[in-house]
Structure formats: C-alpha cells, structure tokens
A and B are shown apart, each in its own frame.
Chain A
Amino acid sequence: DIQMTQSPSSLSASVGDRVTITCRASQSISRYLNWYQQKPGKAPKFLIYAASSLQSGVPSRFSVSGSGTDFTLTISSLQPEDFATYYCQQTYNIPWTFGHGTRVEI
C-alpha cells in the first residue's frame, strides 16, 4: 500500500496567516492526489483533485502544487472558516489511502 505522510500533524495560526501543509507519498503517484477538509463532527469536504484542480466553489486562496511524491497545500490568507483538519489522499493505486491529517487551529 502507498503510505501518505503529512506534515505538520498540527499547526497554530491566526486569521490572515499564510499556511502550508505538505504531503509525501511513499512512491510516485503522478498527480493522483486529492485534498479534503474536515471540521469536527462533520464529513470530509472535497476540495482539490488531480494535485492542482480546485473543486467548484473552493476559494482561490487555496492553492496546490506538486507531482510524483511531494505535494503542498497552501492557504494564502487564513479565514475563520478554514480552521479544520486537512487530509491528502492518493488515488494512484488501490487501496486509496489517506494521510493522517493536519489540524489547523488558532
């Protein structure tokens, strides 16, 4: 199975900060990398697919980059509604696997 490693596991930030989360795959996954946002007690929300394509309605302050094994999610100016846990997911191989999550908190 492909292992997905996210860092940091948690971070503290303030509204307006620039935040970067990294995701590393244990082998090349081309661009089959998705990002999800999860708030406490809620289902994950689909944000980004194919490493760089924003789902409809996702604010442009979210950006992503990377291919192969190393990927980053950047929030350019953190907003109150962005405080959540973010998961990366590879869909290059079965089983689809998720990172352990990065909690973004105040």
Chain B
Amino acid sequence: QLQLQESGPGLVKPSETLSLRCTVSGGSIRPNNYYWGWIRQPPGRGLEWIGFLSNTGNSQYNSSLMGRASITLDTSQNHFSLKLSSVTAADTAVYYCAKAEWSVTDRYFDSWGQGILVTVSS
C-alpha cells in the first residue's frame, strides 16, 4: 500500500522560501498516469489545492498562489518536493502531499501523507 510522508522545517521566516519533501514508499512515483501534489489547510480552516505534477512533466498550479509554487519529482529517490517562495503569515498551514489520479474518468486524491505544520513567523 502506498505511503506518503512529508518532511521539512516547521518554521519559516517571512519572505523566505518554504521547502517540503514527500517521500513515497510502497510504490513508485514513475507511473505516467499518476500525479503528485500538495494541498494545504490553514489552522481551523478548509482545504486548498496547491498543485500537482506528473512524471511526464505535466504540471498544474493554483493561480491564487501567483506563481510562487513549484513542484519537482526525483524519481531516483522516489520523492517529490514543494517550494513556495516569498511566504507570509497567510501561508501558515498544515501541508499535505498526496497522489492524484487525473484522467477523463478519474480525478481525485486517493493517498495522502499525514501532514506537516509549517508556521511562517520571524
């Protein structure tokens, strides 16, 4: 069974870049029909889709992030990463990594990491 685990700093200073990694076990990130994405949840609030990327290089991002988000895959290490630049306190949230299916018939996040709280503060 696929397992995902987020890692990275829990505290980031304003204006700096948030960097998180998601390590995938129990399966490979190589299949072309899988997308690897990030979702965040500010404390006490709802879910916000950040974006996702496939092994073929097809990527989609939430335009609300104004081009600040970037997702990359490392197939040799079986992990993927998120970078979010120029962070502010509004980026404080629990960040989840997840595997997505994205096709004509199947579009959903079916495997999730446990989440990591990232606080933006000086």
Hey, which bits of chain A sit against chain B, CB under 8 A?
1, 32, 34, 36, 42-46, 49-50, 55, 87, 89, 91, 94-101
Contact = CB atoms under 8 A, between A and B. Distances in A.
Contact of B108 (A1, A46, A101): A46
Contact of A100 (B46, B64, B107, B115): B46
Interface in B59-106: 60-64, 96, 102, 105-106
Given A43-B96, A43-B115, A91 B108 contact: yes
A87 B47 CA distance: 8
Contacts of B105: 50
Contacts of B109: 34, 36, 44, 46, 89
Contact of A42 (B48, B108, B114): B114
A2 B47 CA distance: 14
22 contacts: A32-B107, A34-B107, A34-B108, A34-B109, A43-B114, A43-B115, A44-B112, A46-B109, A49-B108, A49-B110, A50-B105, A50-B106, A89-B47, A89-B108, A95-B61, A95-B64, A96-B49, A96-B107, A98-B46, A98-B48, A98-B49, A100-B46
A49 B105 CA distance: 10
B113 A43 contact: yes
A42 B63 CA distance: 27
Interface footprint category on B? 20 to 34
Contacts of B110: 46, 49, 55
Contacts, number: 56
Given A43-B115, A100-B46, 18 more contacts: A32-B107, A36-B109, A43-B96, A43-B112, A44-B109, A46-B108, A46-B110, A46-B111, A55-B110, A87-B46, A89-B109, A94-B60, A95-B61, A95-B64, A97-B49, A98-B47, A98-B49, A101-B47
